[in-house]
Structure 1
Amino acid sequence: MTTANDGTIYEAIGGYDAVDQLNTAFYERVAQHSDLTPIFPEDLTETARIQLLFFVQFFGGPRLYEEERGHPMLRRRHLPFEITPTRRNAWLECLEGALHDVEIAETYRTAILERITLTANHMMNTSE
């Protein structure tokens, strides 16, 4: 994920520490969202750790996710979970809130949300 001047979103928002803060804020929201808790484990520690690896890579940082887990194969990995339009929207809402919580600059928030929305749309596998 690159910025207009060929840097990465990862670098622009502050690297690993910023992505870690974003991921933490995101999972604080996920843990409280009634539309999402049915498909997430009660203990989000490992889920959040894996998501951090993915976000680092997705935003243009080191390919930590692939190094540990191989190709993301996101849709395949998410097929066991009922991902409805409502849950997609809830997930995106949590991410948008987390982007605000950790004060990611608007330009980068928009770029992140636009790209991740495409991914979230691809994850839907169940109608309401």
Structure 2
Amino acid sequence: MTTPPPGAPVLPGATPSFYDQIGGRPTFARLVRRFYEGVAQDDVLREMYPEEDLGPAEERLLLFLEQYWGGPGTYSAHRGHPRLRMRHAPFHIDPDARDRWLRHMRDAVDALELAPLHEQVLWDYLDRAAHAMVNTFERR
């Protein structure tokens, strides 16, 4: 079963996607923008982003999260399968980097002021994903 495009009418009895339930693109764009504001100020995480401008990374995360949560499939159309662990393998992601990532993402999630159930669902995923990206226990 495919998810209808954002803004499409929801048929009676159908459940809107999580993406639509929490406000679609504007909500995810606010989340990602706030997160990267924190990353820009973080000396450990910032060095993992080779671009001078964090804009391309911000766009990639936005597209990924939109697709994951039932929004448009633009991420896969442009970048293929997410392969998150493979794409993050070149970076030194130790528990400190994970915790910094989570700290900035926690701030971003809190800023959305979602309903408690939506906040918990989103946070559970982000927390699991961050732990899954750890690829070394060697300190810098």
TM-score tier by shorter-chain length is 0.7 to 0.9
Measured against aligned partners, the alpha-carbon deviations of 1:30-86 in whole angstroms (never above 9, x if no partner) come to: 111233122123410111111110110122212121111000001001111001111
Please name the residue that 1:16 is paired with.
25
Distance 1:60 1:85 in 2: 29
Between structures 1 and 2, the one with greater helix share: 1
Which residue identity lines up with residue 59 of structure 2 in the other structure?
R
Q: CA deviation at 1:94?
A: 0.9
- 1:57 and 2:67 equivalent? yes
Gaps of 5+ in 1: none
- 1:25 and 2:44 equivalent? no
SS of the aligned residue for 2:44 comes to: coil
Which residue identity lines up with residue 58 of structure 2 in the other structure?
A
Percent identity for Structure 1 against Structure 2? 37
Distance 1:47 1:56 in 2: 14
Gaps of 5+ in 2: 1-13
Please name the residue that 1:7 is paired with.
16
Distance 2:114 2:45 in 1: 23
Say if 1:8 and 1:59, in contact at 8 Å, map to a contact too. yes
Q: Which has the larger radius of gyration?
A: 2
Please name the residue that 1:114 is paired with.
124
Kindly tell me the number of residue pairs found equivalent between the two proteins: 124
SS of the aligned residue for 1:110 comes to: helix
- TM-score, normalised relative to structure 1: 0.88
- TM-score, normalised relative to structure 2: 0.81
Distance 1:105 1:93 in 2: 20
What is the CA RMSD across the aligned residues, in angstroms?
A: 1.6
Please name the residue that 2:10 is paired with.
none
